[in-house]
Amino acid sequence: MALLVTVTGSASAPGTSRTAHLVHDLGRGLASQGHDIRHLDVRSLPAEALLSADTTHPEVAAAVGLVARADALIVASPVYKAAYSGVLKTFLDLLPQYALRGKTVLPLATGGSPAHVLAVDYALRPVLTSLGADVAQGWFVLDRHIAVGVDGTVTLTPETREALAPVLDRFRAALPAGPRLAAA
What is the chain's pLDDT, residue by residue, as a tens digit (184 residues)? 899 999 999 988 767 899 999 999 999 999 999 999 999 999 999 999 999 999 999 999 999 999 999 999 999 999 998 899 999 999 999 999 999 999 999 999 999 999 999 999 999 999 999 999 999 999 999 999 999 998 888 999 999 999 999 999 999 999 887 655 444 3
| Segments making up each domain of the chain, as ranges | 3-174
Can you give the pLDDT at residue 13? Answer: 77
Nearest CA among 41, 4, 1 for reference residue 21: 41
Say which CATH class 3-174 falls into: alpha beta
Residue 82 backbone dihedrals phi, psi, to 5 degrees: 65, 20
**d(C-alpha 176, C-alpha 103), whole Å:** 9
User: C-alpha angle with apex 72: 110 to 68, nearest 5 degrees?
Assistant: 110
Can you give the pLDDT at residue 179? Answer: 56
pTM: 0.93
Can you give the pLDDT at residue 143? Answer: 94
> How far is residue 97 from each of residues 43, 93, 94, 127, 133, measured CA to CA in Å?
22, 9, 9, 10, 11
